[in-house]
Structure 1
Amino acid sequence: MRHLGTASVAAMRQYVRAATSAGIDAEALLGQTGLTSAILESDEGRISGEQLQTFIHLLSERSGNPILGLETGDFVQPGTYSVLGYITMSCATLAEAVARIGPFEKLVGDMGTTQVMGEGDQIRLVWQCAYTDSIVRPHLVDNVFASWIKYARWLADDPEASPAKVLLERPSPGPEYEKAYSDRWHCPIQFAAAENAVVLERSLLATSLRQPDPLLRKTLEAHAQNQLATLATDTALTTRVKHCIQQQLLHGITRQDMIADHLGMTSRTLQRKLSLEGVSYQELLDEVRQKMAEEYLTRSNLPIPEIALRLGFSETASFHRKFKSSAGVPPGEYRNEKKARNHPG
């Protein structure tokens, strides 16, 4: 399973505000996502990418709004971008603010990555969405671009500042909805494009922003670097935990307390650190088990009950259910398919 990283609670708040404004019970949607409204109280909190993706999917279904992402952009605030929002507020020009997106956007979340590309008198901000849900992706791209444009206008204190054009991979939502894009963005919009990009005139980047403060910007950037280092450490922790799980499973053991002790922390501390990265011990255990199971089935002739025992399952039937849930087929069928591919004819 592909993990979607994490997202800041600040990013989630934008969607919660949009849901509440539309008369949708955001608390109920949070509950279906495995969250409570208490998570929204922490400025430093993070949720898993899967949770944010699920919330947006549920909100899309509940609203039935084909331009949900575009309209949620109306609820952007400086805090939506976590510390990145406050860094951009202290920049002197729009060019300075744009230059800060790439280095610090991970603090907002792992929803996607931005590339800045030059084209003569124009630049393209190309955004590559990391989320996999086909319903969520177009809404997320719409939200990112709508939020960028609205926030940039606020920073520049110019409600008429607009891109040269916007390119969207998504198909048109229909002629009756296309006007909502042009009304907000005041520029040509190309649907079914080869990439998701906002095209800007270079002259626009020279626009002065409303609250330049270079000393504050440097202070905020130092704070942001520390936060990035913390996220990087959490990623390293996940790798170490997975390695420990693998070593345990070689002996048929699955003990979270032993792994925590090996890493010099309590089980509670380990779980808290993992949750900051948007994963749980059980998810990592399932991931490592599945990978090892596939290796055993492909590269050994061990009986399936023996494989189940080695992977810490007390019953072979439990192993069958877990493996089929992840791979789509039972372990015996998986082994036979692999053998047929490796030895055709």
Structure 2
Amino acid sequence: MLKVDKTTLLYNFAEQHTIASYFARAHLDNGVLLGGNEQKFLARSELTTTQLKQPKSRVLATQLASIVKSCWQVSGDELLGFTQQKVKVGMFKLLAERLITCKTLDDVFTHTAEFYNLTGDQLQISFRKSTGQILVCINPNFKVNNDKNSLNSLLSEFLLLICHRFCSWLVGQVIPLSEVQVQHAKPAHHEEYRLMYPCPCIYQSKHNALLFDAKYLNLSVVQNQDELLEYLRQIPLQWFKKQSYHDTCSAQVLRLLEGATLAKKSNLETVAAKLNMTSRTLRRKLMAEGSRFQQLKDNVKRDKAISLFEQSNLTLAEIGLAVGFTEQATFSRAFKYWTGVSPSTYRNCRQLI
């Protein structure tokens, strides 16, 4: 049996999860419309057009962050050229430096709405309290009849993600969402929403909005200025990385799977026992969150495999073994099912960079 050198596997896989390549393709297309050079964008992000053309392909958070950062550099606009007026790069930093001084999440939303309503009309932000729920509405003032109306949903998705993840970071725990609402129709990549916003999604709504229990407004801001400086240094990567403070059942399972040697048996029963619950209870809790154990396990294997292709020179057989496959043929079939391409095709695409 092949033996894999453990020193080659010391990657932080929790930070190397993958993202649907749709987002990289869409931001790349937008970057070209903004005046950027497609080949330069691809080179900086270590991607190829062949990779991005595969509908089921996936990219690393670092690669998507690179493309978005390139779009900022070309446009000088934090809202990526979608709105009537620019929001200069650095505006989020000014807001964040104000929000870090807030006492509670309630203060954070109040100051955010005031900030954007005072600094321009590019975003209409409001939050409403009703029957124990909070609705945070984020509606961009899109350009009318421009040449990228079909990409408008990209900004809405981006802003909702930033709002939820940055606010969760401020209070040091995930803010459980009851619902996310978007103005656009259900997109082809809607399955990715389950990872972006772990809650039901309502399409073609009046607003782009996050809905959650009002009790979370009382959560205290726990981060400090030094931690904010490090956070700002890493954006937009921070918005695309998997959050490490999730307390959902799905996240607990993912942490156990990510820390396990997947070549060993990591089944529903063993994971449930580690979480001090029955397999039936674990299955029920995962279903309530819209997850399945096998799906989570496959996602961990897929992301580990892609990370190893990106960051090591292991053979295909060694990568397969590292993610729990003793037979290379079985690994190849699984990888093609996950990504739409075979491992050898994926590696050949990487070698073109």
The two structures have a TM-score, normalised by structure 1, of: 0.40
Larger radius of gyration: 1
Higher RCO (Cα < 8 Å, 6 or more apart): 2
Question: Per residue, is there more helix in 1 or in 2?
Answer: 1
The two structures have a TM-score, normalised by structure 2, of: 0.39
